[in-house]
Amino acid sequence: MIFNRKPNLCGVGSSRYSLVICHSQKIINPNMKRLILSCLVLAGIASQQVVRADEGMWLPLLLKRLNYEDMKKKGCKLTADEIYNINTSSLKDAIVMLSGGSCTAEAISSNGLLLTNHHCGYEAIQTNSTVEHDYLTNGFYAKSRSEELPSGGITASFLVRIEDVTQRVLAELNPSMNETERSAKVRQMAKTIEKEVKEASGYDASVKGFFDGNEYYLFVYETFTDVRLVGAPPESVGKFGGDTDNWMWPRHTGDFSLLRVYAGADNKPAEFSPANQPYQPKRFLPISLDGVKEDDFTMVMGYPGRTDRYLTSYGVQMALDLSNPAVVKIRDKKLKLMKEDMDASTEIRIKYASTYAQTANYWKYFIGQSQQLKNNGVVEKKKELESKFQTWAGQDAQRQAKYGFALRDLENAYTDMRKVTLMRTYLNEAILQGAGVPFFAYQMSQLKEVIGDTSNPAGVAEAIAEVRAEGANFYKDYNIGTDKKLLEAMLIIYAEGIAKEEQPSIYDSIRTKFNGNYKAYVEDLYARSVFATSDKFNSFLDNPSVSVLVNDPASQLSGIFLQTFMTNYRPQITEIQSRIEKGNRAFVAGLREMMPEKKFYPNANSTMRLTYGQVKDYDPRDGVEYDEFTTLKGVIEKEDSSNPEFFVPAGLKALYKSKDYGIYGEKGELHTCFISTNDITGGNSGSPVINGKGQLVGCAFDGNWEAMSGDIFFEDKVQRTISADIRYILFLIDKLGGAGNIVDEMQLMRKGKIVKR
């Protein structure tokens, strides 16, 4: 039984009819921060623009055919087989998908040591933190294997192989199918193929659609569930700059954390056990101490979550007009309420740290995305491409029949989708991701079928034990006062944003029974609900009752909202979505036919991709030039003791003053971060930045403000990936953290030779 997942009402099904795509939901460890520069080439979108080699997020399976010659020209010294090969070890064996695609990590030792971002390990750090052991504030490094901590459920998946199954899937489809029938057949085929892999090898498998359903690929993984937290810097280092610097360059953030994968005696996945041993990966990345300089080749491999480079002007305009402003407004209110309580109590700060970080990350993202979509004229660029497409399709009768309907149908579908977008956005952001108790109660309501089964007492006992554990996880990061404030505010903001006739019936009760007093309603709900406190919840589990679940006011509240949606809106949205999917599929297929000379790559979808480019500075606007790297000097210059976002630990200041950089410095300086032209997005957080020799030079963690529209349109002049310099990371572990034992596991390289710290 699974009780901790929220339904995705941001995008019912798989279409991309809105830019609001549930970034904050736990994919990964939803904690992490998703980098937002995208990866999909909408080749030719900017009239006659030459496709650059650093634009694109490519399937490693196709590198040899599509990209390898370009990569060599940029400076790659590896062969294509050294990057991706299923018969011998290759770079792909060192790249790790965390928790199903929330973040990326890389193996950096022969003993299963992983490097990822601080924000990717944030929830694990927070989960292990208490007032007495505040690892968020003070950092944490295990000085021995026995000191490593549970990761809070993070999983690590290694890619075994990719296989093109397009023909097998398409062979089961025919033009007479409607979209519902087509989608059902695709799902059936995917399940059949995935089951075959599982039965034959025991590996996990996933069939994913590409180019909006025109191609299909199988991804096979070996997934490990025993993953432990090894280390992380203090929050003042790992989140240096906070929300102010988020999505900005120049940057000085030591955004990293360390994990370790454990396996059974046979080096295969095993459930957590003290007897497990560190996993021995097929490949791990050696680490370069040589640093990077302007024009150096850089390659990023990882698991980008989602891009929407083929989104039409209709979808972009809908996001600008409706969904993005609504998300920003709702999240702004949630952040202010949480911050009030977090500032007043260390205990509450620790409890809500992860939730606050997740909420803030994409609050600022949607502000930036809207601003840059306008600044970069993305709607106009989309319309230009669409005009060319219509002209091309109309020049030939066969093309007109095959593709001529696509944009017309998409425009009509988005016109209809605009009518329900606000309701869907408010439901997801304000209700499902608002206060904790109502949705937790809804999840627990699934228990009624279990506890009502008197014929299976053993099954009931097992389910109760599992739910009790879920409750412990929930209440650990819960404060009743904060939750009440959030629920009251979110109910009000929903009522203000959604027309009265579209509001669930609970609002009639608030207006009549409580005279429109939301605070009184909320106080009554928490006073009567068995989910209001852990004590009441556990007392209920001691003597569970179906009637109590059914009549609980918190469960009823979320149930009413969801039932209203499922009854009144889901059928309508599903129908509109099917039209969008059909239109997108034809539009994308037509684009590829219209521009046969272009190298197209698919939207990101949490599958392994490779992007390559170079270390490059940029000029974002008149009179402003940004260098390609930053140094520790910038950290000291940004210090502001009155602002926790820019607090600098005393130990770091002392190391700067003495210039005690060890083997990690360069000409008397310590480089902190650098930028490159790699094309990444959310899910790439923690991805390795690899030089032309296959050595690790950095850890990617962000994108830049000027290209916040990058998920929709690649801004080739200004789009940059921001990465922590690997030498700064090692310095922080060794010199600031005193954890040289961790560095000693790694293979350090300088000028082609192995060196010791």
Cβ(518)–Cβ(546) under 8 Å? no
Is residue 264 classed exposed, middle or buried when 0-12, 13-18 and 19+ CB atoms within 10 A define those classes?
Answer: middle
For residue 597, which amino acid is it? E
Q: Is 161 inside a domain boundary?
A: no
Q: What is the mean pLDDT of residues 702-727?
A: 95
Q: Is 555 a catalytic residue?
A: no
In terms of domains, do 525 and 656 share one? no
Name the residue among 26, 34, 11, 28 with its Cα closest to residue 711. Answer: 34
pLDDT mean over 492-519: 96
> Is residue 13 scored above 50 in pLDDT?
no
Q: Is 205 helix (H, G, I), strand (E, B) or coil?
A: strand
| Token pair in block for residue 411 | 């425009």
> 10 Å Cβ neighbour count for 208?
17
CA atoms within 13 A on the CB side of 109: 19
Two structure tokens written together for 119: 């924000």
Per-residue pLDDT tens over the stretch 22-65: 333 322 233 333 332 333 233 333 333 333 438 899 999 999 99
Is there a domain that residue 19 lies in? no
Does residue 90 contact residue 84 with C-beta atoms inside 8 Å? yes
In terms of domains, do 451 and 522 share one?
yes
Dig out the tokens for 406 from the structure. Answer: 């696509």
**Residue 14 pLDDT more than 70?**
no
Look at residue 36 and tell me if it is in a domain: no
Task: For residue 426, give every residue at least 6 positions away whose Cβ sits within 8 Å of its Cβ, in sequence order, or none.
Answer: 326, 330, 493, 494, 497, 498
The answer to whether 204 touches 191, Cβ cutoff 8 Å, is no
Indicate the burial class of 371 (C-beta count within 10 angstroms; 0-12, 13-18, 19 or more): middle
- What pLDDT score was predicted for residue 475? 96
Q: Is residue 401 part of a domain?
A: yes
pLDDT in tens, 652-689: 999 999 999 999 999 999 999 999 999 999 999 999 99
State the pLDDT confidence band at 299, using cuts at 50, 70 and 90: very high
Phi and psi of 217, rounded to 5°? -130, 145
Known catalytic residue: 119? yes
Nearest of 298, 294, 290 to residue 667 by alpha carbon: 290
In contact, 435 and 352? CB cutoff 8 Å: no
Domain assignment present for residue 44? The answer is no
| pLDDT tens digit sequence for 429-451 | 999 999 999 999 988 887 887 77
First-to-last C-alpha distance (Å) of the chain: 48
Residue 12 CB burial class (10 angstroms; 0-12, 13-18, ≥19) = middle
Residues 544, 647, single domain; the answer is no
**What is d(CA 578, CA 567) in angstroms, rounded to the nearest whole number?**
18
**Cα–Cα distance for residue pair 381/317, rounded to 1 Å:** 12
* Cα–Cα distance measured from residue 734 to residue 669, given in angstroms and rounded to the nearest whole number: 17
Question: Given this model, what pLDDT does residue 445 score?
Answer: 81
| Preceding peptide of 250 cis, ω within 30° | yes
Picking from 515, 545, 570, the residue at the C-terminal end of a domain is 570
C-alpha 267, offset from chain centre: 29
Would you give the distance in Å from CA 110 to the centre of its chain? Answer: 27
Residue 5, judged by CB atoms within 10 A of its CB (0-12, 13-18, 19+), counts as exposed
Torsion from C-alpha of 336, 340, 346, 348, nearest 10 degrees:
-70
What pLDDT does residue 462 have? 87
In a domain, 698, yes or no: yes
Q: Are residues 252 and 385 in the same domain?
A: no
Domain span at residue 254? 60-155+225-309+603-755
Same domain, residue pair 408 and 525: yes
C-alpha 32/C-alpha 361 separation (Å) is 9
Q: How many residues does the chain have?
A: 757
pLDDT at 456: 76
Q: 393-418, pLDDT tens digit by residue? A: 999 999 999 999 999 999 999 999 99
Distance separating alpha carbons of residues 611 and 71, to the nearest angstrom: 10
Rounded to the nearest 10 degrees, the angle between the axes of helix 436-444 and helix 480-497 is 90
pLDDT-derived band at 16 (thresholds 50, 70, 90) equals very low
**pLDDT score for 52:** 44
**What Cα–Cα distance (Å) separates residue 723 from each residue in 251, 292, 381, 686?**
9, 11, 29, 9
Q: 15, 90, 102, 685: which is the annotated catalytic residue?
A: 685
Question: What angle is formed at CA 443 by the lines to CA 442 and CA 447, rounded to 5 degrees?
Answer: 100
Q: Which of 631, 581, 181, 541 is nearest to 406 (CA)?
A: 581
Is 82 a member of any domain?
yes
Whole-number pLDDT of residue 24: 32
- pLDDT, tens digit, for every residue of 113-160? 999 999 999 999 999 999 999 999 999 999 999 999 999 999 999 999
Q: Are 141 and 738 in contact (CB under 8 A)?
A: yes
pLDDT of residue 458: 81
* Residue of 23, 118, 119, 252 with catalytic role: 119
Closest CA to 183 of 585, 729, 746, 675: 585
Q: Name beta bridge partners: 297.
A: 614
Pairing of strands 748-750, 95-98: unpaired
User: Quick one: residue 662, left, alpha or beta (phi over 0 = left, psi -120 to 50 = alpha)?
Assistant: left
Q: What is the pLDDT of residue 223?
A: 98
Predicted local distance difference test score (pLDDT) of residue 42: 31
> Which has the higher per-residue pLDDT, 8 or 140?
140
Whether residue 45 contacts residue 598, with contact meaning beta carbons closer than 8 Å, is answered with: no
468 phi and psi, to 5 degrees? -60, -40
User: What does the alpha-carbon distance between residue 83 and residue 93 come to, in Å, rounded to a whole number?
Assistant: 9
Query: How far apart are the C-alpha atoms of 60 and 673, rounded to whole Å?
Result: 27
Catalytic one among 70, 255, 296, 725?
A: 255
- What is the residue-averaged pLDDT of the chain? 91
**685 noted as active-site residue:** yes
> What's the number of domains the chain is made of?
2
Looking at the structure, tell me whether residues 280 and 304 fall in a common domain: yes
With helix as H, strand as E and coil as C, how does 98-123 read?
A: ECCCCEEEEECCCCCEEEECCCCCHH
Domain of residue 70, CATH code: 2.40.10.120
| 583-630 per-position pLDDT tens digit | 999 999 999 999 999 999 999 999 999 999 999 999 999 999 999 999
Q: Are residues 528 and 610 in the same domain?
A: no
Asked if residue 318 has pLDDT above 60, the reply is yes
- Report yes or no on 413 lying in a domain: yes
- Do 304 and 320 lie in one domain? The reply is no
CA-based diameter of the chain, in Å?
Answer: 77
> How many percent of the chain have pLDDT more than 70?
93
Q: What is the pLDDT of residues 57-103, one digit of tens each?
A: 999 999 999 999 999 999 999 999 999 999 999 999 999 999 999 99
Give the integer Cα–Cα distance in Å for 69 and 329. 47
Residues 85 and 64 grouped into a single domain: yes
Co-location of 277 and 325 in the same domain:
no
Q: Are 367 and 437 found together in one domain? A: yes
Q: 216: which 2 tokens? A: 């299909």
pLDDT the model gives residue 20: 34
* Residues 601, 63 contacting (CB under 8 angstroms): no
Winning range, highest mean pLDDT, from 11-15, 18-22, 264-268? 264-268
Residue with tokens 């926790």: 644
Pair 389, 427 in one domain: yes
